[in-house]
Amino acid sequence: MLAHAADFLAREDGAPHEAALAHFAAWLAARGLDEAHVGQPQLDEYLYHLALEGANSARLDQAVAALKGYFAFRASREGAPDPADGLCYFGETGEARERYIKAEWALSDAFYGIAPDLGRRGRGGDA
Amino acid sequence: MAPRTVRLGPLNRVEGDLEFHLVVDRGRVRRLDASAVMFRGWEIILRGKDPWLPISVTPRACGICGIAHVMCAVRTVEAATGVAVPEQALLLRNIIAATEGMMSGIRHHWLLFGPDLINERYRGWAEYPELVRRMQPLTGSSYRAAVRWSRRCVEITARFAGRQPHPTAVIPGGILLPPSLEEITWSLATLRDVREQFIEGVVLRGSLDEYLALERADDLFAWLEEGEHRQGDLALFVRQAQAFGLAQLGRGAGVFMSYPAFEYPAGRFLYPGGLYRSVWLYGREGGHVPVGDPYEFQLRVAEDVSCSRYRGNWMRHPWEEETVPLEEPERSKYSWAKAPRFDGRPVEVGPLARLLCQGDPLIRDLEAALGPSLFLRQFARIHEVIRKTAHVERWLRDLDPHAPFSADVPRAVPDGRFWGWHEAHRGALCHWVVYRDGKVANYQIVSPTTWNAGPRDGRGQPGPLEAAVLDCPADDLKNPVEILHTLRSFDPCLVCTVHVLDGDRALSRFRVGPPGALEA
C-alpha cells in the first residue's frame, strides 16, 4: 500500500483510482522498490509494464490519472518533488516527439551540396 | 452488334492518374488498355544528384507509401557502403513500415473498394440495408471506423518515423533517434486499441487469436458463420462474394511475385518473397519458387517501353534503362507507365502475392480451393492487416530502447550498381541506382502499381490488370460494377468518385452521399 493512498482516496473521492494505485503498489512490491525512490523512469517503466500486459489507451490514461493525482497529493503533503509531473496522457506531444518533427536535416539542400550558397538559410521563407 | 470502346476513369494511382480503355463485345470485355496519363519523371529529377538525395526526395513520390520509398532509398546507400544495420533498427523499420501498410490496407478496403459493395446492383440482396448502414461513404459505421482506426495506425508510423508523410528518421545505417520507453508504451496501447476496437470489434466480431489459428478454407467459412462472428465485416464481405460470384471474377494470369521484406532477426524475412504460380490454374506446375540468390533474382526484372511513351522499343534491366519521354508518341504508346516484366513475363504483386510466397496456410488453401480472383485479392488484403496487427505487437514487445539503433555510414558512396527493395502495401517496390563519379548516374523506381497496371510489352502481353479484366461481364456499361471491382482489387490508389465515359459523354457518376443517395 502506498503511504498516502488512504488519505488521497478519501479526499479525492478517489474510488476510480483505487484499483490503479493498488496495482501500482503491487508492482513496486514485486520489484522490491520503495515509493520514496520512485522517479519518472520508474513510472515510465510501470506504464510500459501495463502496456506489455495488454493495456489499451484508456487503461493507461486511468493509470496516468491515478499516478498524477496521487503523487501531486503526496508532494503537497511532504513538499517533495512530484515524479509524475512529466507524465503525458495519450495523444499529448512530449519533447521527444518534437525533436523528430523538427528534424530538418533531410530537407537541407546545403546538406546535399546542391545549394551551397544558401548556407544556413535553407529554402525560401526561412529567416 | 459492333464492339464498343469505353473509357473508364480517372482512377488515380500512387504516382498519378490512371484511366482505362475497354473494348466490349457481346457483353464481355475483350481488351483493356491501362493508361497512366501523367508523367512525373523522378528518374530525370535525380540524375546527377547526390547519392543521398533520393532518401528525402523519393518518399515524396507518394503521400501514402512514403515509408516504402525511403526504405528502398536507404537500402541502395547501405548496399553501396556495405553497412550492417543494427537488429533493433531493422525491428523498428518493420514497425514503421507495417503500420503504414495497415493504414493503407484498411483505407483501401473500407474507403476505396467498399463503396462499390453498396452498388445498386446489390440492392435486392437481403443484407443490402445492413451493408449500406456500414459501408456508405462518410456516414457508414464501418466507413467511419476505418477512418478513425487507420489514422491511429499511422500515428504509430509517425511516432517512430519522425513524421508521416515525408519521414525523417529512416537514415542509412538505421534510425535517426532511438525510441523512448514512453513511445513504445503508447504505441503498444494504440495498437491494442486498434485490435480491440477495429480488428476484433468491427472486422472479426471475435478473437484475433482464434482467427489467426485458422489454416483451412473450410475452417474459415465455418468460423465466420459461428455466433457473433457472423456480424463481422469480414463475414459479411465473404457472404456477399459468395452470393454474387466475386470469387469467379478478375482471376488474372495467376503468376505472383514478391521481394524479401520485413527482416528480423537479421537475415530472416517475414516475407521471404519469390515467385508463385496459381495451384488452382496450373495444377502440379503451380507453387512457390524461392528467391535464391537475391542478386540473380533482381537481374530477372526488366522494363519494356514498346507501348510506353518513351523513346525506343526495348526491354531492359533498370540499370540499363534510359528515361526519354516522348511528347507526341505514336498511338500504340498509350501509357506513361513502363511495363515491368519478370523473366519476360507479367507478374502480379501485392498482399496476395506476398502471402502466397510466404506460405500463409489459409491464403494458400483458399487459392487452391477457389483460385485467384478479385475476392481473394481483397480478402488477402484484409487478412494481412489482421496478421500485421499481431506481428507489430510482437515487434513492439521486442524493442529495446537501450540498444544501438544506428551504425556509422561513410558519407561518400562508391561508384557501382545497387538496388534496394521492399514490400510496399501495394506490392513489390524497388529502386535501382547507378552511382558514377560520386553522383547518381541513373535512378529507376519500379513501383507496385507499375507492375500491376503497366501496359502491354513488345510481345503483346497485357499487364496483370489488363489481363484480369478480360472476359469480365460488361452487360451494363452505365454501371460496370464487376469491372470496377476487378480494377480496384489491385488497389491502384483510387479516389472515391469514378466517372464512366463513353467517348466524350459521361454515362454515369457515382456519388458519395448519405444513405439513400446512391443513385447516379
Residue B159, C-alpha cell as written in the block: 511516432
> Which chain A residues contact residue B52 at CB under 8 A?
111-112
Residue pLDDT tens, chain B, 520 long: 688 888 887 665 344 478 889 999 999 999 999 988 777 788 889 999 999 999 988 888 777 788 999 999 999 999 999 999 999 999 999 999 999 999 999 999 999 899 999 999 999 999 999 999 999 998 999 999 999 999 999 999 988 988 788 888 899 999 988 898 989 999 999 999 999 999 999 999 999 999 999 999 999 999 999 999 999 999 999 999 999 999 999 999 999 999 999 999 999 999 999 999 999 999 999 999 999 999 999 999 999 999 999 999 999 999 999 989 998 888 899 998 899 999 999 999 999 999 999 999 999 999 999 999 999 999 999 999 999 999 999 999 999 999 999 999 998 999 999 999 999 999 999 999 999 999 999 999 999 989 999 999 999 999 999 999 998 999 888 888 999 899 999 988 642 223 344 445 454 554 545 444 444 3
User: Tell me, what's the pLDDT at B328?
Assistant: 84
Contact (CB, 8 A) for B341 and B304: yes
Q: Note whether A27 and A49 are same-domain residues.
A: yes
Between CA B511 and CA B519 the distance in angstroms is: 8
Residue from the list A60, A106, A114 with its beta carbon closest to the beta carbon of B189: A60
User: Tell me, what's the pLDDT at B11?
Assistant: 62
Residue B324, C-alpha cell as written in the block: 526519354
Indicate the residue type of B218: D
Contact (CB, 8 A) for A24 and A87: no
Domain positions in chain B are: 1-40+472-520
Indicate the residue type of B503: G
> Which chain B residues contact residue A96 at CB under 8 A?
177, 180, 182-183
Q: Note whether A63 and A81 are same-domain residues.
A: yes
pLDDT band at A14 (very low <50, low <70, confident <90, very high): low
Q: Note whether A34 and A81 are same-domain residues.
A: yes
Q: Note whether A14 and A50 are same-domain residues.
A: yes
Q: Note whether A78 and A19 are same-domain residues.
A: yes
Q: What are phi and psi of A65, to 5 degrees?
A: -60, -45
Mapped onto helix, strand or coil, the DSSP state of residue A54 is coil
> Which chain A residues contact residue B181 at CB under 8 A?
44-45, 48
User: Tell me, what's the pLDDT at A122?
Assistant: 33
Residue from the list B50, B159, B162 with its beta carbon closest to the beta carbon of A112: B50
DSSP secondary structure, B183-221, as one string:
HHHHHHHHHHHIIIIIIIIIIISS-HHHHHT--SHHHHH
> Which chain A residues contact residue B208 at CB under 8 A?
none
DSSP secondary structure, B42-94, as one string:
HHHHHTTS-TTHHHHHGGGG-SSSHHHHHHHHHHHHHHHHTPPPPHHHHHHHH
CA-based nearest distance A83→chain B, Å: 15
Does ipTM top 0.90?
Answer: no
Q: Chain A residues with CB-CB distance to B under 8 A?
A: 44-45, 47-48, 50-52, 54-60, 88, 90, 94, 96-97, 99-101, 103-107, 111-114
**CATH number of the domain to which A53 belongs:** 1.10.150
User: Tell me, what's the pLDDT at B226?
Assistant: 97
- Could you tell me the residue range of the domain that residue A53 belongs to? 5-92
Q: Note whether A101 and A78 are same-domain residues.
A: no
State the residue for C-alpha cell 503497366.
B454
Q: Note whether A75 and A98 are same-domain residues.
A: no
Residue from the list B49, B183, B189 with its beta carbon closest to the beta carbon of A114: B49
Q: Note whether A88 and A103 are same-domain residues.
A: no
Indicate the residue type of B234: L
Under an 8 A CB cutoff, do B180 and A96 touch?
yes
Under an 8 A CB cutoff, do A103 and B182 touch?
no
Residue from the list A57, A100, A105 with its beta carbon closest to the beta carbon of B163: A100
> Which chain A residues contact residue B193 at CB under 8 A?
56-58
Q: Note whether A74 and A20 are same-domain residues.
A: yes
Under an 8 A CB cutoff, do B185 and A47 touch?
yes
Would you say residue A123 has pLDDT above 70?
no
Half-sphere exposure of B120 (CA within 13 A, CB side): 13
Identify the residue among A46, A97, A101, A104 best suited for mutation to test binding to B, counting B beta carbons within 10 A and taking the highest. A97
Q: How far is CA A96 from CA A63, A66, A102, B92, B183, in A?
A: 21, 23, 10, 16, 9
Under an 8 A CB cutoff, do A56 and B183 touch?
no
> Which chain B residues contact residue A60 at CB under 8 A?
185-186, 189
Would you say residue A89 has pLDDT above 80?
yes
Look up the pTM and report it: 0.90
Q: Is B390 on the interface with A (CB under 8 A)?
A: no
Q: Is B398 on the interface with A (CB under 8 A)?
A: no
Q: Note whether A44 and A76 are same-domain residues.
A: yes
CA B15 and chain centroid, separation? 13
Residue among B432, B399, B473, B509 at smallest CA distance from B94: B399
Under an 8 A CB cutoff, do B188 and A52 touch?
yes
